[in-house]
Structure 1
Amino acid sequence: MSTDDAQAPFRAAGISDVRSPTRSDIPTRPMEIVIYSMNKTGYVMKCENGRNTTVAEVHQRMMKTLQLPNIYGPVFALWMTSPLLQVQLKSDQRPSRIRKQWKAMLAKFTTAAILEMETDEPVLSFQRNVFLPIDVEEKIADREVVKLLYEEAVQNVVKYRYPTAKAKCISLAAIQAKIEHKAVTLEIVKESVERLLPVHYRYANRWMSRIKEDEKLAAQVVGECRGTEEVRDDVTCMKKYLAECREFPFYGSIFFYGQIQHERTRFVGQRKDRRVRVAINYTHLHVIDVLTNEIIVGVSLDEMRWDFHPAKSIGDHVFSSFFIEFDCEFNFSHQKVCHQMQIFTRQAAMMDAMVDRCANGLGRREFDDMVERMEQATAEQSDCRSELGCFKRGASIHSQHLVNKVKVDRINEDGSLISPKRSSRRQQPAAS
């Protein structure tokens, strides 16, 4: 079904106009909702409990509709997303109530203008659980589960949510082309290049026309296909695509938005804050520049400290603060110094909760139980994994340009500042 047709039942249900019941046992009229998978397919679902329908009920129906084994239930979660905000819903929440509160959530957690909030239209989506550990995902061999994970990874790469190098994008596009086309030719790839590569690389050379740029990229993709081993099994190709994506330390992240201050020098006056998005997954945190999509800093959760300070007051230009602190070498010397970064954001509380759960391994038991059931169901699951090497967990990466581009305070082991601390133009909230 088309996207427009799929969205109509969700709007027609009048979810945003329905008054939430005070008790869950109040009878309500059945309603229809639409849940999207990451390949943009909409699934119309009739909910007999109406607005009292819980996320757990919708999740169970989706597992049945997609014919996924119940054992893989923890792999996926129900999300409510829009261009302004993305939220993974809890099993006991009601989608209708979250939809009704959406504008209030936008006002609380985003800096969107009133017109943007008024026209924002969230949708329900069935996506990867952000708390799914990488080592657990690697053990999944079910075809339909792997396909859903693959489709989500493709969207994150092609939509350029992941800051991926051009050579890596070409390699991933070659795998995707093999999955989508039996015979990969230059003409076929040219017609589908917009579905294979991020638009960022298609317009990288402003002096070259889009047609010529697409031809050049298509030739590189075809060349990559010819230089790799021929694999006819789609599942094997999907696993290979996922294995390469898992090498990214930011794979499977949820994204938050905020801003940081530029480093202030005596030659350049104070500039506007740098807009960033913060990617957090089960093992790492990355701060990424929104404009250039480059990684400013990335650090393992095991090697960082963090703190959350709520804003003292409410206003358009008042933000909460999320602090991160980590150790690394200073100016390529062997001297270990402590870097501190302050991120101004209205999503600081959400970031704090996310890091706390991931860093402390909360919810890990659920996935360990799933792995145990998988191993009991079949002893051949481990043989279905790709033979590609896995990314070594726990390693941290840091941008070499960090100290020149953003405001950080550098502290010696004895606690003294290496660089003088500049005064923030925002009022610092009191320590909680």
Structure 2
Amino acid sequence: MGRSVREALNIPDSAQDAFAFWLCSPLLELQLKPKHQPYKLCRQWQDLLYRFTEASEEDIAQDEPCLQYRRNVFYPKTKELQIKDEGVLKLLYDEARLNILDGRYPCDPEQWLALGALTCAIELGIGLDERKVAADIREKKLSSFLPGHLVVGGGFLSTLRGKGGRQAELEQKLLKEYHSLSQNPSQDPTYLLRQYLSTCHTLPYYGCAFFSAEIDKPAQGILHRGGHKAVTVGISLEGVYVMDVKEKHVLLGLRFNELSWDHSYPEGEGDSHILWLEFDGEEAGTPVNKLLKIYSKQAELMSGLIEFCVELRSAGDGAATGTDGEVVPAQAAPAGQVGSTERPRGNRRGKLRRQSSVVCSRVHSLSTISYVDDGKEIKALKPKRAASFFSRQAQPQDYTAVQVAESLEQG
């Protein structure tokens, strides 16, 4: 079936590993392995939903998956930049654009404006009269060029100004960016597509597989009530990213050389599957280890994907998986760059950035478990069933892996 689809889409053999089959619905998304038979998995879809989602029986009964041919989560960005075929670039652009518009790839203003202008140039043409472009934008709707939550949303002042005023302001900004882009009218479609994808590559979560989950809210008020916050967890060859579903920004972003992880199963009725992420942090100026609990029935899938991505990177510093399931080495990433699993012994990781950018981590807004591993008065803070990849490295690391424990304390 893969060969038939590639022939229909005119995908050259050199780019066949860039795509894979996915079974997707509003409730669950799964990238299929080459050995999987989509028809059989469709027959088992309800069982998969019961296993990996919290959906109601009614929603599960009404849910139907569709088979999609999408970007392969194991395809390195370095190889994607080498693609020259316009048809393949257009397929990758279409998927990336949809993720931008849906808010799956959070962007800062300068990014979504640049991407919106590139979309105008790709979809409408370059060097057009401003009135013509404005008319086309209104006809297609602004949400076809800019993220929907920006067009529809807005703060209190935006509400007072009105939806029309907000959209007019966004339209003017988009037209200005398009005019700046049109200063070089000789840019061909392939160049524009590559520019769009290159801009997306600056987003660390580009190419991720996404999972639905929840995390603890920090305790607030006199009664210290917390609750859960809905998040999306993105996992790629480069790391793990936890994003706020409502606010459309990153809460925590970790490369694989910055974390340990574990998956724990429910131990009693009412308990949840949990994906544990362990990373370096700071409390009142003191370096500490932090644990983030991610509640999701898809924790098992996330843990398995993390482990597989780590193994791929260990096998070739950026290996890719071919359509036949074999590990194919890609260009090695120099130590210290994104995705490199090497870290000098005896050095702590650098502090996570805490800026206003949607891409930067917001560790201060997370409810985490903190502990100091200095050999003194260490309480039982670590989760059970340790599965840190650091314990499997060829060279010993200075990082302490997640270990068996009996109780937890919130920090």
Task: Give the structure 2 partner of residue 243 of structure 1.
Answer: 198
Once residues 134 and 417 of structure 1 are traced to their aligned partners in structure 2, the CA distance between those partners, rounded to angstroms, is 45
Between 1:109-118 and 1:239-248, the stretch displaced more is 109-118
SS of 2:138 mapped into structure 1: helix
Task: Give the structure 1 partner of residue 390 of structure 2.
Answer: none
Q: Closer, same or farther in 2 for the Cα pair 1:366/1:252, shift >3 Å?
A: closer
1:87 CA displacement: 0.3
1:360 CA displacement: 1.9
Task: Give the structure 1 partner of residue 306 of structure 2.
Answer: 355
Aligned partners of 1:80 and 1:88 also within 8 Å: yes
Q: Closer, same or farther in 2 for the Cα pair 1:392/1:176, shift >3 Å?
A: farther
Between 1:286-295 and 1:77-86, the stretch displaced more is 286-295
Once residues 431 and 108 of structure 1 are traced to their aligned partners in structure 2, the CA distance between those partners, rounded to angstroms, is 27
Task: Give the structure 2 partner of residue 104 of structure 1.
Answer: 47
Once residues 293 and 92 of structure 1 are traced to their aligned partners in structure 2, the CA distance between those partners, rounded to angstroms, is 35
Task: Give the structure 1 partner of residue 180 of structure 2.
Answer: 227
Aligned with 1:200 (options 121, 146, 149): 149
Aligned partners of 1:256 and 1:347 also within 8 Å: yes
Task: Give the structure 1 partner of residue 393 of structure 2.
Answer: none
1:419 CA displacement: 11
Aligned partners of 1:302 and 1:359 also within 8 Å: no
Task: Give the structure 2 partner of residue 294 of structure 1.
Answer: 249
Q: Closer, same or farther in 2 for the Cα pair 1:215/1:288, shift >3 Å?
A: same
Aligned with 1:343 (options 294, 300, 305): 294
The one-letter code of the counterpart of 1:283 is E
Aligned partners of 2:217 and 2:227 also within 8 Å: yes
The TM-score normalised by the length of structure 1 is: 0.73
SS of 2:294 mapped into structure 1: strand
SS of 2:274 mapped into structure 1: strand
Q: Closer, same or farther in 2 for the Cα pair 1:167/1:108, shift >3 Å?
A: same
Once residues 66 and 377 of structure 2 are traced to their aligned partners in structure 1, the CA distance between those partners, rounded to angstroms, is 47
Aligned partners of 2:24 and 2:66 also within 8 Å: yes
Once residues 140 and 173 of structure 1 are traced to their aligned partners in structure 2, the CA distance between those partners, rounded to angstroms, is 22
Aligned partners of 2:380 and 2:405 also within 8 Å: no
Unaligned runs of 5+ in 1: 1-57, 373-390, 424-429
1:264 counterpart = 2:219: yes
Aligned partners of 1:326 and 1:338 also within 8 Å: yes
Aligned with 1:213 (options 166, 176, 183): 166
RMSD: 3.0
Once residues 173 and 417 of structure 1 are traced to their aligned partners in structure 2, the CA distance between those partners, rounded to angstroms, is 54
Once residues 328 and 106 of structure 2 are traced to their aligned partners in structure 1, the CA distance between those partners, rounded to angstroms, is 33
Aligned partners of 2:234 and 2:240 also within 8 Å: yes
Once residues 420 and 308 of structure 1 are traced to their aligned partners in structure 2, the CA distance between those partners, rounded to angstroms, is 17
The one-letter code of the counterpart of 1:393 is V
Per-residue CA deviations over 1:200-223 (Å, capped at 9, x if unaligned) read 111212233333322211110110
1:111 CA displacement: 0.6
Task: Give the structure 2 partner of residue 319 of structure 1.
Answer: 272
SS of 1:207 mapped into structure 2: helix
Per-residue CA deviations over 1:264-287 (Å, capped at 9, x if unaligned) read 357343222111111111102111
Once residues 117 and 431 of structure 1 are traced to their aligned partners in structure 2, the CA distance between those partners, rounded to angstroms, is 36
Once residues 255 and 196 of structure 1 are traced to their aligned partners in structure 2, the CA distance between those partners, rounded to angstroms, is 23
Once residues 378 and 179 of structure 2 are traced to their aligned partners in structure 1, the CA distance between those partners, rounded to angstroms, is 52
1:393 counterpart = 2:338: yes
Aligned partners of 1:410 and 1:419 also within 8 Å: no
Once residues 20 and 167 of structure 2 are traced to their aligned partners in structure 1, the CA distance between those partners, rounded to angstroms, is 36
Residues 45-60 of structure 1: pairs in structure 2 closer than 5 A = 58-60=1-3
Once residues 66 and 410 of structure 1 are traced to their aligned partners in structure 2, the CA distance between those partners, rounded to angstroms, is 51
Q: Closer, same or farther in 2 for the Cα pair 1:250/1:416, shift >3 Å?
A: farther
1:245 CA displacement: 0.4
Once residues 13 and 329 of structure 2 are traced to their aligned partners in structure 1, the CA distance between those partners, rounded to angstroms, is 10
Once residues 418 and 140 of structure 1 are traced to their aligned partners in structure 2, the CA distance between those partners, rounded to angstroms, is 52
Between 1:206-215 and 1:190-199, the stretch displaced more is 206-215
Once residues 210 and 231 of structure 2 are traced to their aligned partners in structure 1, the CA distance between those partners, rounded to angstroms, is 10
Per-residue CA deviations over 1:140-176 (Å, capped at 9, x if unaligned) read 1111111111111100001111121233111110011
Once residues 296 and 152 of structure 1 are traced to their aligned partners in structure 2, the CA distance between those partners, rounded to angstroms, is 24
Q: Closer, same or farther in 2 for the Cα pair 1:398/1:96, shift >3 Å?
A: farther
SS of 2:290 mapped into structure 1: strand
Aligned partners of 1:82 and 1:123 also within 8 Å: yes
Task: Give the structure 2 partner of residue 282 of structure 1.
Answer: 237
Count of residue correspondences:
347
Aligned partners of 1:81 and 1:122 also within 8 Å: yes
- Percent sequence identity is 26
Per-residue CA deviations over 1:317-347 (Å, capped at 9, x if unaligned) read 431111011114445x4x4322111111101
Q: Closer, same or farther in 2 for the Cα pair 1:369/1:312, shift >3 Å?
A: closer
The TM-score normalised by the length of structure 2 is: 0.77
Once residues 76 and 304 of structure 1 are traced to their aligned partners in structure 2, the CA distance between those partners, rounded to angstroms, is 28
1:196 CA displacement: 0.5
Task: Give the structure 1 partner of residue 58 of structure 2.
Answer: 115
Between 1:203-212 and 1:67-76, the stretch displaced more is 203-212
Once residues 381 and 321 of structure 2 are traced to their aligned partners in structure 1, the CA distance between those partners, rounded to angstroms, is 44
SS of 1:360 mapped into structure 2: helix
Per-residue CA deviations over 1:53-84 (Å, capped at 9, x if unaligned) read xxxxx211110110111222111000000011
1:98 CA displacement: 0.5
Q: Closer, same or farther in 2 for the Cα pair 1:91/1:422, shift >3 Å?
A: closer
The one-letter code of the counterpart of 1:227 is S
